Amino acid sequence: MTIFDDPRFLAQELERVGHIVAPELATTCVLAHRLGKPLLCEGSPGVGKTSLARALARASGGSFIRLQCHDGLEASQALYDWDFAKQILHVRTIEAASSSAGERIDAICLDDELHDRAFLLARPILRAIEDSRGLGPDEARPVLLIDEIDRAGDEFDALLLEALADWSVTVPELGTISTQTPPLVILTSNRTRDLHDALRRRCLYQWFDQPGAEAESRILSLHVPEADESLRRAVIAAANRLRSADLLKPPGTAEAIDWLRALHALGLGELDDPAIAATISAVLKDADDLAPARTVLSPFGGDGT
């Protein structure tokens, strides 16, 4: 039995490794595994999209492979590249051996040698495909996280769609490398741009809302179990006040976890004005948010109401 045989079992195993999911998300993850489809996770930063992929890898025992997207991302960074330094060293070794033996180098044979698999650098997508080859139905698959795909350009959507369409990567010098057992692919997006419709249709989809107070309390208790419940609830209440304010970068659950950890690390058991001032750097990440945050938190009083 694997964790993907039953959504309830998957949810239990994810909680065991510190990640809480709603029943519908657990079901979607099971479907992504069974159907061999990527799962596109969209939502605001800090709501658990990236941590879901990490938790799935830990819970299933599969390897975790991450591709961090950015503007100008190229195929050589996502699919594969050639190890030029290793190729040059190989050429020099052959030249030295040929010179000492008084032989000429066969350029065609040398070119074939330089484009052997030993000189190929597998980037995240190719690594995930190669690591999935030959796996049985009950063996742990690699989890490929394609993080913040909305930061890459439109052309990357097309490249990714081609790779995921038949779970293969074509290397002109070597041929096509493919797998019959697809990796579990998690794509995340903060919706800074619209993704290509064809890519969306290829994926299962999950929208990530900010969790409610009770769910967030369970999450914080898993990540910072040593903190008092009263302090945990005070942090959640204060974080919700900040989320309701007109901030450029409102705190997500990830920032709430950091805030609670910071308070506990300083030995602060109450979220009063001095405690807020000492730890606000764990919560706010933009200078323009400081003034409105002070206004929202000034009447907080440290009682969590």
Q: Is 189 helix (H, G, I), strand (E, B) or coil?
A: strand
Packing angle between helix 229-244 and helix 253-265, nearest 10 degrees? 140
Question: Residue 178 phi/psi, 5° resolution?
Answer: -140, 170
Q: Is 184 helix (H, G, I), strand (E, B) or coil?
A: strand
Residue with tokens 């057992």: 181
For 64, 149, 191, 245, the CA distances from 208, given in Å and listed in that order, are 21, 16, 12, 20
What pLDDT is recorded for position 305? 39
Amino acid at 4: F
271, with CB counted inside 10 A (0-12, 13-18, 19+), is buried
User: Within its chain, how far is the Cα of 178 from the centroid?
Assistant: 23
Buried b (16+ CB within 10 A) or exposed e, 69-94: beeebebebbbbbeeeeebeebeeeb
Instruction: Give the residue from 169, 92, 183 showing the smallest Cα distance to 123.
Output: 169
Q: Render pLDDT for 11-63 as a digit per residue (tens, 0 to 9).
A: 999 999 999 999 999 999 999 999 999 999 999 998 999 999 999 999 999 99
Amino acid at 156: F
Cα 51 to Cα 145: distance, rounded to the nearest angstrom: 10
What pLDDT is recorded for position 264? 94
Instruction: Determine the Cα angle at 100 with ends 98 and 104, to 5°.
Output: 30
pLDDT (average), residues 239-246: 93
Q: Per the structure block, which two tokens stand in for 207?
A: 């929208």
Amino acid at 112: D
Amino acid at 52: L
Look at residue 302 and tell me whether its pLDDT is greater than 60. no
Cα 10 to Cα 2: distance, rounded to the nearest angstrom: 9
Q: Render pLDDT for 141-153 as a digit per residue (tens, 0 to 9).
A: 999 999 999 999 8
Reported residue count of the chain is 305
pLDDT (average), residues 247-252: 93
Look at residue 175 and tell me whether its pLDDT is greater than 70. yes
pTM, rounded to two decimals: 0.86
